[in-house]
Chains A and B, each alone.
Chain A
Amino acid sequence: DIQMTQSPSSLSASVGARVTIACRASQSISTYLNWYQQKPGKAPKLLIYAASSLQSGVPSRFSGSGSGTDFTLTISSLQPEDFATYYCQQSYNPPWTFGQGTKVEIK
């Protein structure tokens, strides 16, 4: 199975800050990489698909980049509603696997 590793596991940031979350795959996955946001008690929500494509309805402050093994999710200006846990997920090889998550907390 392909292992997905996110860093950091958690971070504290202020409203308005630029936030970057990294995700690394254990082998090349081209751009078969998705990002999800999950708030407590809620279902995960698709933010970014195919490494850099913004899902419909997702604010443009979210962006994704990368290919191969290294990927990044960036929030350009953190908003109060963005405090959540973020997961990357590969869809290159079954079983599709997730990173362990990055919790974004208020500073």
Chain B
Amino acid sequence: EVQLVESGGDLVQPGGSLRLSCAASGFTFSNYWMNWVRQTPGKGLEWVANIKQDGSEKYYVDSVRGRFTISRDNAENSLYMHMNSLRAEDTAVYYCARLGDWNYDLWGRGTLVTVSS
């Protein structure tokens, strides 16, 4: 089955760190750009970061640049997001999403990150 499964979400204090993971299966993971997209009740859906097939290019939304790091392991069919210096406004459901032809054609079910003291 073609799917993405996220994990690693948790309750963390402001200033803390977290690593999210996304396990891909059912397709050739190394052929695709991959993304993290987050969702909050207040701001809705927001693209966070993406990474090229071989990991050589990475892009971030301004609000997380310098704090979050996206990475991938094609041998393990996995995508990661290392999140440092977490803030209350980073509280969201984080989705792993595959880049299709100018769209996100496959999404995981998400993992909840809550930043609170």
Chains A and B belong together in one complex: yes
Interface membership of B44, Cβ < 8 A: yes
Chain A residues with CB below 8 A from B44, complex form: 87, 98-101
**B68-103 interface code vs A (CB 8 A; 1 in, 0 out):** 000000000000000000000000000100001111
Closest chain B CB from A57 CB (angstroms):
11
In contact, B45 and A43 (Cβ under 8 angstroms): no
Given known A95-B47, A95-B61, A98-B44, contact A46–B105 (CB-CB < 8 A): yes
In contact, A44 and B102 (Cβ under 8 angstroms): no
**A72-97 interface code vs B (CB 8 A; 1 in, 0 out):** 00000000000000010101001111
In the complex, what residue of chain A is closest to B108 when comparing beta carbons? A43
In contact, B108 and A49 (Cβ under 8 angstroms): no
Closest chain A CB from B102 CB (angstroms):
4
Closest chain A CB from B101 CB (angstroms):
7
Interface membership of A45, Cβ < 8 A: yes
In Å, the complex CA distance between A97 and B61 comes to: 11
In contact, A44 and B95 (Cβ under 8 angstroms): yes
Interface residues of A in 43-62 (CB under 8 A from B): 43-46, 49-50, 55
In contact, B103 and A46 (Cβ under 8 angstroms): yes
In contact, A91 and B110 (Cβ under 8 angstroms): no
In the complex, what residue of chain A is closest to B45 when comparing beta carbons? A98
Closest chain B CB from A54 CB (angstroms):
12
Chain B residues with CB below 8 A from A95, complex form: 47, 61
The 26 sampled A-B contact pairs (Cβ below 8 Å) are A32-B102, A34-B102, A41-B109, A42-B109, A43-B107, A43-B109, A43-B110, A44-B104, A44-B107, A46-B103, A49-B100, A49-B101, A49-B105, A55-B105, A87-B44, A87-B45, A89-B45, A89-B103, A91-B102, A95-B47, A95-B61, A98-B44, A98-B45, A99-B44, A101-B44, A101-B45
